[in-house]
Amino acid sequence: MDFARVELGATDREFQERVRAFLAANVSDELLRAERATGDGVILDLHRAMGARGWLEAEATTVDEGGFTAIQKRIWDLERRRLGLPLERWGATMMILQAVRQYATPELLDEVLARVYRGEALFSMGYTEPEGGSDIATCKTRAARDGDGWVINGQKMFTSGANICQYVFLLTNTDPAGKRHRNLTMFLVPLDTPGIEVQRLQTVDDDSTTITYYADVRIPDRYRLGEVNDGWAVLSGPLAAEHGAVDSADAGLTDITTMSNFGMAMAISADLAVGLATADGPDGRRSLNDDAVSYRLGRAHSRIEAALSTPSLFGRVAIAQAMRDIAPELMDVLGGAAALASSTPGALADGEQGPEYLYRWAPLVGIYGGTIDVFRNMIAQHILGLGRPTYVAPTK
């Protein structure tokens, strides 16, 4: 690992200033608060403004295609994160975009690509089903041939952003009697197609997700991505990106694992806890002088650093597990006021920085994009070569 300081040249400094000026002019506390109230994972006006400046296209393309350099990409990432911008919808769109660029017909690319780059089209992920569980290949949502097109029937659970996106990257079953993984087909379905119903759900951490119903949804064949029954191959790229099972770029500037930004949010909460523990309390004492408090805060910081330095799938598990363990620890150390939500008088922190928010968020970080348990099994099976787990009924 290279810990060398990155010195910005004049062009990169000028780029950083332009980004900062744009964000200062377009982001306000009011906008951030309004997004937090919906949990939609995007500020649409801001997203479109980024598109109009050409920054979405630059982020989603390589240098050879005219996109950002590795340093510009990192600056762009860090500046947005510093402000706590919600980037979930755009993140999902970029993961799906690689499959769309690889598998969409020229006609479909014509329809979507420029709109995505302008910030006018976002994609959601339609994989999970109410009864399918983590094993999404058991998909029951059915797509059947209908003349030149397809008719789709079924239901998806947790299609985050379907209430605000323009398309869903939809996993369907096109051969119920077919072999596992050889009976699936992917579509990019416009969410305004008749027959689609989207029901919004609020999660415990004030994010939003949706249930989506598909009743006789008719779409032309041009919305199919890849070959019929070869959907698992189409899905594999976006899934690997979401799982963090992809190599980081050579420049050494990218996140060491997926969800590193969540790890950074956890670090900010822990820093805040240290700040509070160092301040004089009502009795004039600093709680940090208590050995138990300093030991527990020190341990939390060490775990965060370790998680943030752990690459690939391992890092993803380390971040999610650390967040689950550290959030209650911070609340415990800081006392009763730490349990108050940010909007409550007497709360210790505003917005998403306080341990109370971290505590509500932590369980979800270990669920979406695959649960922490499933990732542990993947590591055991595919990386450590320990073989397939066998599940036996517990003995009495």
Minimum distance of ligand FAD from residue 162's CB (angstroms): 8
Q: Which of 246, 256, 317, 260 is nearest to 3 (CA)?
A: 256
Q: Residue 135 or residue 280: which is nearer to ligand FAD going by CB?
A: 135
Nearer to ligand FAD, 235 or 348 (CB): 235
Phi, psi of 141 (to 5 degrees): -60, 120
Please say which residue, 93 or 160, places its beta carbon nearer to ligand FAD.
160
CB of 382 to ligand FAD, least distance (A): 12
Q: What are the tokens at 376?
A: 């542990």
Least Å distance, CB 186 to ligand FAD, is 12
* C-alpha pair distances (Å), 53 with each of 46, 48, 60, 86, 192: 11, 9, 13, 19, 27
Nearer to ligand FAD, 124 or 260 (CB): 124
Q: How far is the CB of 60 from ligand FAD (least distance, A)?
A: 19
Output the six-digit token pair for 265: 């949010």
The nearest distance, CB 121 to ligand FAD, in angstroms, is 16
CB closer to ligand FAD out of 72 and 370: 370
Cβ closer to ligand FAD: 160 or 174? 160
For residue 389 the two structure tokens come to 């787990």
DSSP H or E stretch at residue 188: strand 184-190
Q: With contact defined as beta carbons under 8 Å apart, do 248 and 254 qualify?
A: yes
Q: Which of 279, 276, 272, 281 is nearest to 301 (CA)?
A: 272
The HSE-up count of residue 316 (CA atoms within 13 Å, CB side) is 27
CB 207 within 8 A of CB 364: yes
CA neighbor of 305 nearest in space, from 277, 274, 264, 269: 264
- State the first-to-last Cα distance of the chain, in angstroms, to the nearest integer: 49
The position carrying tokens 């055991």 is 380
The single-letter DSSP state of residue 229 is T
Categorise residue 35: left if φ over 0, alpha if ψ from -120 to 50, beta otherwise: alpha
Q: CB of residue 237 vs ligand FAD: minimum separation in angstroms? A: 15
CB of 369 to ligand FAD, least distance (A): 6
Positions in the binding site for ligand FAD (CB under 6 A): 124-128, 133-134, 158-160, 203, 207, 209, 364, 367-371, 373-374, 377
CB 211 within 8 A of CB 159: yes
Give the CA angle between residues 253, 65, 105 to the nearest 5°.
Answer: 115
Helix then strand count (H, E) for the chain reads 13, 8
> CB of residue 152 vs ligand FAD: minimum separation in angstroms?
15
**Min dist. Cβ of residue 91 to ligand FAD (A):** 11
